[in-house]
Amino acid sequence: MLRHLSAIHVPYRLKRPFRISRGTKSVADTIFVEIRRGRHIGRGEGVPYTRYDETIDSVIAQIGSVRDEIEAGADRERLIEIMPPGAARNAIDCALWDLEAKQTRVSVVDRIGWGPLGPVDTAITISLDTPENMAAAAQQLQDVPLLKVKVDASDPIAALRAVRQVAPNPRMIVDPNESWSIDQLGSWQRQLVDLRVDLLEQPLPAKNDADLEGFESLIPLAADESGHVTDNLGQLARRYDYVNIKLDKTGGLTTALEMLEAAEREGLGLMMGCMVSSSLSIAPALIIAQRCAFVDLDGPTLLTEDRDNGVVETCGTMVPPKPGFWG
């Protein structure tokens, strides 16, 4: 019996504008994929990201380019051969995992052999704004276990001080999204220590990563935009302490699992991240999150409306979706 693949654009409006150093968004654009075979339907989601030259149209076109092979029965291993990493492959890969689970009645976590998923503490993000507005946002989050604070190069220390003053207890990830220079990193790191920053994520542009070789950072560094797939992990390990795994970068759960194992072999710590997305993106990401020291999966909490029966976040702790949602 042949499969049927469909892919559509599904936008989600955000509760409030989400700003990082590269720009601001008010809508999360996702690509929803279904793969049907008989009465079974596998679902997956990818999020096009302009940082990697992806658009809604380009991701849908990529999916269309492999439609015939997927409908003819191509498996996840074949998918890796015919598609590059990215949002399009992620959506198909996760849909294939879901379809396989429904056809066999064996859950994805059981197939992997990791056992049942448990709740995880996820970072709750404070987007880039004035120090006063960031402090107002942090005031509502002072009891969560982990904050992620978006900054740029225009006086990030003032913003972080404002956040810390009202939220002294949570662990803190700081994310400049490639907006700093190596000189700025050096000049600010003593203040970052004083502010009890636990992790600094992608401070420099990925193209300037070589500047980190030999740099003695006082704060653990995590690669995000610099760390996509397993090929460059050895090099990353000379520059970073952690790598942020995202399914839309690796191109799906299949290669994310491979990247996790390879990162552990290289001695890199693990972080699990996401784009701004619905719970359909987060459900497979929660599998990787079980092995990560830092988890940043709050994408659905930014939406005005999520998918039914998805993840539930309460005071920074995320509970997996209800049975039957995915996988």
Helix, strand or coil, per DSSP, at residue 107: coil
> What residue has token string 């940082």?
51
| Dist CA 296 CA 281 (whole Å) | 13
Residues 6+ apart with CB under 8 A from 140: none
| Dist CA 323 CA 147 (whole Å) | 28
| Dist CA 300 CA 311 (whole Å) | 8
Q: Which residues form the catalytic set?
A: 150, 246
Q: Which two tokens stand for residue 237?
A: 């390990």
| Dist CA 119 CA 124 (whole Å) | 15
| Dist CA 222 CA 241 (whole Å) | 6
Among 99, 147, 152, 112, residue whose Cα is nearest residue 128: 152
| Dist CA 236 CA 213 (whole Å) | 10
Q: Which two tokens stand for residue 8?
A: 């559509």
Region at 163 (left for phi over 0; alpha for psi -120 to 50; beta for the rest)? alpha
**Which residues are bridge partners to 121 per DSSP?**
317
First CA to last CA across the chain, in angstroms? Answer: 21
Among 291, 250, 255, 259, residue whose Cα is nearest residue 113: 291
42 in Cβ contact with 71 (< 8 Å): no
